[in-house]
Structure 1
Amino acid sequence: MLRQYELVERVKEYDPNADEALLNRAYVYTVQKHGTQKRASGDPYFSHPVEVAGLMTDLKLDQETIITALLHDTVEDTLATIEDVEDKFGSEVARLVDGVTKLSKIEAMPEDERAAENLRKFLLAMSEDIRVLLVKLADRLHNMRTLHFIKSPEKRQRISRETMDIYAPLAERVGMYEYMREMQALAFEQIEPDAYQTITGRLEQIRNSDGGQVDAIALAIKQALAEAGLKVEVSGREKHPYSIWKKMAERHVSFEQITDIMAFRVITESEEDCYRAMGVLHRTWQFIPGRFKDYISTPKNNGYRSLHTSLIYENSMRVEVQIRTREMHRTNEFGLAAHWAYKQGDRPDGQVSWLRDLIEIVDASHDAEELLEHTRLAVYQDRIFAFTPKGALFQLPKGATPVDFAFAVHTDLGAQAVGAKINGRHMPLRTALNNGDVVDIIKGKNAEPQLSWLSFVVTGKARAAIRRAVRLKERAEVASLGRKLLDEISGRLPAKIGKKAVREAVQRLEMEDEEDFLYAIGAHKLDDREVMEALLPGSTADLGDDADWGRQERAISIRGLTAGVGFKLAECCHPVPGDRIVGLRRPSEGVEVHTIDCLELASGIDTDWLDLSWDKRSSGAIGRLRVTLYDRPGTLAEMATIFAQNHANVKTLEQAEQDPPFAVWSVDLDVKDLAHLTRILSALRASDAVAQAERG
């Protein structure tokens, strides 16, 4: 563990103007606050924030970030408050500490939801200041280094999966490959211990039997480049166990079939030398077609720049070579942190656009599970490059389509997309894009995102935007139905209802606005009595108890039952007066009334069957319909109009399925009898808005 003076000296080495007294005060504060707390390793707890601060000094970050690292657990794990931190270390440090602090440990939540909830808070804090991410990544890296001290295998695996799913991809996304690789290696050891042991064992065998082959290849590369007049540094290494395992899984091959286990890095003095070195290597050894990538002229979104190529060395051995300048190398290993000139307020443009996309995903996601899915898509996929007709470059995951491209350019463009030209040719929107494609999105003035797009889009941003648009459309249609139902309910009140009464009803029900009120009516979250009472308090006083209200005109009696025997109408078939009916009587239960053709009758084969019929005076029951509407604006409102014209009160309304170009709705209606229900079905089937209508 770093001692107090060692930490201060590290900061002063690269920032002579750092406030030594403030750094000392922060070190002492974290030691005092964590006091006698211990880690699973038995070390004092304060050793953890001190080590995290040490990682931040390796990246030469500003003093506010170092202090944040020292204090990042004090608010969560001690009696310290954000106000205390602000009072002693200033508002900037307090804001950063607040961003890094895990605000709650929601142990009762499902694992994915818990991870997603933390991620939501994290992304929002990160959007305000990227230093929150840098401290959090260092915090997670140090926790992974000491993970083996935790006794519970289940807890080690949970933390490792969270690291693999969230933190390693985020490290990669901001270009911190050194952090990413170490996190993946440590997590892989816990998640797949057998595979880890097997691969590391095989690598050890290769290392012991290669007779210094890695050093020999590195020397051969250096000599070839020196003969061409290039001054370079060359280093070789085996690929990490997780990288090898991932390649084995993706290619469905064994360890022996992986040929490019060794990778070499060439560090040059200038960008021009990178291209010269690549030419020399390609002339000296055969290169493998399709394996060359130029990330210097076209950097990755995270700022990564390098040339990648694969060569066939002696004895048909494949080796991977990366060529870059020293400046590129530092940026590639530590990414955003390597050139974070925060005091000047500089932010790399690529990072700003990526953070903006992530915040859009946070805003558009409906729940925690959806957020986690979308964010994984956003941060953890291999990339391709595509261009707008004007030459603007966009990086997308492999398998991305024109719809993904449109949403990457702008959310509004994605929402209005109706077609696409790829390299000048009209192509379907589900076409997978290739590297270098020029994509021209065709817009429609009244276009809107389609639910069917979810079957082929691959970016988190596109999926989140489509789902949000579909939800808003559905909500608008249900609110439109609610408007018609409100008019029908208002007509039964003893006074005329105006806009003022509606506004006051919204306030009484503690809703956001009138649209929420209409949606609640349309979705039947409010029954008629609640709506009437909200509009005109006291108007339902003479209508009796809730259980009887709404059934004043309903008088159902059934012939074939002994006087006093209780019965209920079956929910599976919803019989209404006029249907042929039969009763099932089970021991210790009342009689359940079914239609004669109900499929559920098969389950009552061992019960008493009663031959029943409706009394002539019977009137009123709940009829269930299954209505398939064309999925376009206005169809739900047209269905509601048919119900209103036929004097049928909607009791419940629920979307059962959505399979464009159709939407299937389940509707419960208050009807008088079978003839009434049949008239409604006939009216629905005659409507251009309805594809199919049946009893449900």
Structure 2
Amino acid sequence: MQHFTQAEIRQIEDRYQDFLKVIKNKFDEGRLARIEKAFRFSNAAHHGIKRKSGEPFIIHPISVAKIVAVDLGLGATSIVVALLHDVVEDTDYRLSDIENMFGDRVARIVDGLTKLSGDFDSRHALTLKKMLMTLSDDVRVILIKIADRLHNMRTLDSMPAHKKIKIAGETLFLYVPLAHRLGLHAIKSELEELSFKHKHPDEYNQITYLLHNQEEQRNYLVNEFITPIIQKLKEESLDCTVTHRLKTSYSIWQKMQKKSVSFNEVYDLLAIRIVVNSKPNISEKRQCFDVLSIVTDIYKPKPDRIRDWITTPKANGYESLHVTVMGPQGKWVEVQIRTDRMDDVAEHGFAAHYRYKDIRNFENELDPWIEQIRELLQSTDADAFEFLDEFKLNLFSSEINVFTPKGDMYSLPTGASVLDFAYEIHTDLGNKCIGAKINLKLVPLSHVLQNGDQVEILTSENQSPKLEWLKFTASAKARGKIKNAFKQEKSKHTEKGKKIIEETFTNIKAPLTSNSLKKLTAHFNLNNKEQLYSELGMGFINLDNLKEIIGKKSENKLVKYWNITFGGGGKKKEEEGKTQSETNATKKIDKKKTFLLKENQDNITFSLAKCCNPIPGEQVVGYLSTDEHVVIHKTGCPELGRFIANQGEKIIRAEWTKFKRQSYLTRLNLEGFDRLGIVNEVTTLISKVHSINMRSVKFDTHDGIFQGDLFLYIHNTDDLTNLITQLKTIKGIDNVSRIENLNE
């Protein structure tokens, strides 16, 4: 073990004393003594250990403790745990030592955190279950883990680039929704911003630059907007604080991606917040509506953009009035109105509940959510991916409230159907559901519920769950119950799937080899052939395009395209005499090296993910579906998050070499004003000027506006960028965007 220098020892002590200054007025001498004891013990245990950044490791627990105390507002026990949370994992001390020195309660929370071993361990889908099992005992396990992740994200600069992408992806996929569900808005926003900065540095820097550029203009608009509001509030003797909040660069980027718009087309960059310093004898709701009345007297509201989260708060405790109004210079501006208590809850979630009500009451409010998680944990399904997907449904969806005939209220995700509601009440009710009555009108079980609907579920003894029900269910509970109805007979499905594969291969007159099965497994991003059989048997996947998947050779002019996309191309002649094990040895991929994507890949196959369809030149990473096959994803692909969260160790660096001969199917969408000859100009530019092959071109015209849908074969991103730039210069074309999904 190496010893710290005097400068490092001073650095540790200074950091700890700064932390004490922040908390010393919050606690009595007894609690401060416990915190002091925890720090001295942790400091001794971690002596000589450094982080990847080179600073002493103990700086990390001190920083996490500060987040726990300041941002989460938790008590002395949580601070003690934060200081000790890495001791069992990283030093020679055991949990029994923690229990002897600090008691059973501290040891239990430390144990819950230790089960998520490693600062940057990416196998969270499996260990998440363990963490959630401790949640119902003590919600502090998750809160301290979120604080731990926040500090790790703040110090991510010392990690290599591919690790940054992996950790940022995992944070967005799991920790951001957790922070959201616990109402930790400030922490959620910071985690999003830091993840965006490290996962998409170029886009982050561009948006930050554009926001900085418009700062002066924005401040002028804010002052012009709020001046009449402040004046009117004073006249009415309403004690309020008016501030403005800028949309985060991550949320701006998300909107740009989702709606395919430019930065200048994102209209709600600003939100004005009016915080009412509430009077104790008047209802908070009434005080907020008084302010709303003043705002809408000055500025005209957008009718479909008024949200009342005070009458019906969000599931994470968020309360506020939101209204979008037409402000000066013809700009839409969102106004948020809330009391000082509501604002505290909105920013700090659980910590604010801790201050404003008995903590046990808030934990009771979390009980329905915890109960849903417990049901998911008890599911017979062991697929960690699926567990994560269903769990996220409970975390991040907007919610609606619906009622039973007796008036009991249930919260469901937006987009929930009659079937979701039936399963929410009882499993048997869901299994036997045939439809419902809403306002005395019969509706099918696929009917999407609206906020405030009163629903009477109709059942039949002859009804049983159907696989197609998954298409119109939005809640994790309903989806889990439907899948369980099929998974109870898993062995039967596996046999059925095996038979389907054998028959399909016989029908297309192709040999059923282990290599073909590997290609199928890789194509569907599955772990092994048993999972392939099972998914086939249950009908979750089909083999309609089997010939393409296994890359059967033909004289098709696109043979090179199919070979590279689906991993065909065969082995070299000199390899034909080798044994299977020798061939595998040459094909095994080195995870530590950058995987180079070559135009003529010989014995190591790769395929391009269908979810994002990357093309040469784009930033990509690889996912090792097997030791000899890599699936290539764009770094920003949402689907990649699922793999990062469960199998982060299988994510490898990948880089394109120069592609000149091979071309890739790419989809462009054109919008503009119709005029004579515009279609001819577009096709001439593509085929004659750029010599790009077109698979299909479709133009629709309506009331002088046209939309074009183009499927083209592109060599690389440079060619694509040049083409898009020149298409935009054609008179009448308003917008050109790339559509990643080729199947929409």
**TM above 0.5, one fold?**
yes
In structure 2, what is the Cα distance between the partners aligned to 1:598 and 1:446?
37
Out of 24, 40, 63, the residue aligned to residue 51 of structure 1 is: 63
Q: How many residue pairs end up in the alignment?
A: 497
Structure 1 stretch displaced more, 58-67 or 47-56: 58-67
Counterpart for residue 420 of structure 1: 436
Q: Output the CA distance in 2 between the equivalents of 1:390 and 1:170.
A: 33
After alignment, is 179-188 or 252-261 more displaced? Answer: 252-261
- Per the alignment, residue 42 of structure 1 pairs with 54
**Alignment correspondent of 2:398:** 382
Larger Rg belongs to: 1
2:378 to 348, 355, 363: 363
**Map 1:335-346 → 2, pairs under 5 A:** 335-340=349-354, 345-346=360-361
Q: 1:83 aligns with which of 82, 96, 99?
A: 96
Once the two structures are overlaid, the 10-residue window that deviates more, 441-450 or 85-94, is: 441-450
Deviation at 1:446, TM superposition (A): 6.2
Matches within 5 A, 1:308-323: 308-323=322-337
1:21 lines up with 2:42 in the alignment: no
Cα displacement string for residues 227-271 of structure 1 (whole angstroms, at most 9, x for unaligned residues): 222110011121111111122223232221111111111111331
1:157-556 to 2 correspondence within 5 Å? 157-210=165-218, 212-270=220-278, 271=284, 272-340=286-354, 345-364=360-379, 365-445=381-461, 447-472=463-488
Shift of 1:125: 1.9
2:4 corresponds in structure 1 to: none
In structure 1, stretches of 5+ residues that fail to align are 479-519, 526-570, 575-596, 604-652, 661-696
Cα displacement (A) at 1:424: 2.6
Q: Which residue number in structure 1 is paired with residue 77 of structure 2? A: 64
Aligned to 2:140: 131
- Check whether the contact 2:183–2:349 (CA below 8 A) recurs between aligned residues: yes
Query: Is the alpha carbon distance of 1:159 and 1:344 closer, same or farther for their aligned partners in structure 2, counting shifts above 3 Å?
Result: closer
My pick for the range that moved more, 175-184 or 50-59, is 50-59
Q: How far off its partner does 1:325 sit?
A: 0.7
The answer to whether the 8 A contact 1:124-1:359 is kept is yes
Output one character per residue of 1:515-565: Cα deviation in whole Å (capped at 9) or x when no partner: xxxxx9x9999xxxxxxxxxxxxxxxxxxxxxxxxxxxxxxxxxxxxxxxx
Letter aligned with residue 465 of structure 2: P
8 Å Cα contact 2:496-2:537 kept in structure 1 = no
Does the 8 Å contact 2:315/2:399 carry over to 1? no
State the partner residue of 2:128. 119
Post-superposition Cα deviations, 1:301-324, rounded to whole Å, max 9, x if no partner, equal: 011101111111111111111111
- Assess if the C-alpha contact under 8 Å between 2:422 and 2:430 holds in 1: yes
Higher relative contact order (Cα pairs below 8 Å, separated by 6+ residues): 2
Which sits farther off after the overlay, 35-44 or 227-236?
Answer: 35-44
> Residues 10-63 of structure 1: CA distance to partner in whole angstroms, max 9, x if unpaired?
444233365222211101111111112112322211111111111111133121
Question: 2:78 corresponds to which letter in structure 1?
Answer: T
Shift of 1:439: 2.0
- Measure, in 1, the Cα distance between the counterparts of 2:302 and 2:467: 42
AA at the equivalent of 2:444: P
Are 2:490 and 2:534, in contact at CA under 8 Å, matched by a contact in 1? no
Secondary structure in structure 2 of the residue aligned to 1:13? coil
Counterparts of 1:382 and 1:343, CA distance in 2 = 27
Give the Cα separation in 2 of the matches to 1:268 and 1:86: 46
- Alignment check: 8 A CA contact 1:185 1:241 kept: yes
SS of match in other structure, 1:128: coil
Deviations 1:460-505 (A, max 9, x none): 2221121112222566x89xxxxxxxxxxxxxxxxxxxxxxxxxxx
Question: Secondary structure of the residue that 1:292 maps to in structure 2?
Answer: strand
CA–CA distance in structure 1, aligned partners of residues 239 and 177 of structure 2: 34
CA distance in 2, matches of 1:601, 1:170: 50
1:174 touches 1:302 (CA, 8 Å); kept in 2? yes
**Distance in structure 1 (CA, Å) of the matches to 2:20 and 2:510:** 81
Q: How has the CA–CA distance of structure 1 residues 218 and 602 changed in structure 2, closer, same or farther, with 3 Å as cutoff?
A: closer
Displacement of 1:124 = 1.5
Aligned-partner residue type, residue 260 of structure 2: H
For 1:613-692, what aligned pairs fall within 5 Å after superposition?
A: 657-658=537-538
Letter of the 1:363 partner, please give it: Q
Which amino acid is the alignment partner of residue 275 of structure 1? F
Pair 6,201 (structure 1): closer, same or farther in 2 beyond 3 Å: closer
Sequence identity, in percent?
A: 36
Q: Structure 1 residues 54 and 599 mapped into 2: Cα distance closer, same or farther (>3 Å)?
A: closer
Q: Distance in 2 between matches of 1:422 and 1:251?
A: 33
Gapped runs of 5+ residues in structure 2? 1-11, 279-283, 512-532, 541-744
Q: After the TM superposition, which of the residue ranges 308-317 and 13-22 deviates more from structure 2? A: 13-22
Q: Could you say if the C-alpha distance between residues 34 and 343 of structure 1 is closer, same or farther in structure 2, counting changes exceeding 3 Å? A: farther
Task: Check conservation: 1:340, 1:346, Cα contact below 8 A.
Answer: no
Amino acid across the alignment from 1:198: Q
Following superposition, the deviation at residue 72 of structure 1 comes to: 0.8
TM-score, scaled to structure 1: 0.66
Native 8 Å contact 2:224 2:328 kept in 1: no
- What amino acid is the match of 2:421? F
- Could you say if the C-alpha distance between residues 434 and 17 of structure 1 is closer, same or farther in structure 2, counting changes exceeding 3 Å? farther
- Could you tell me the TM-score, scaled by structure 2's length? 0.62
Q: Which residue of 2 aligns with 1:613?
A: none
Distance between the aligned counterparts of 2:169 and 2:507, measured in 1? 46
What RMSD, in angstroms, separates the aligned Cα atoms of the two structures?
3.2
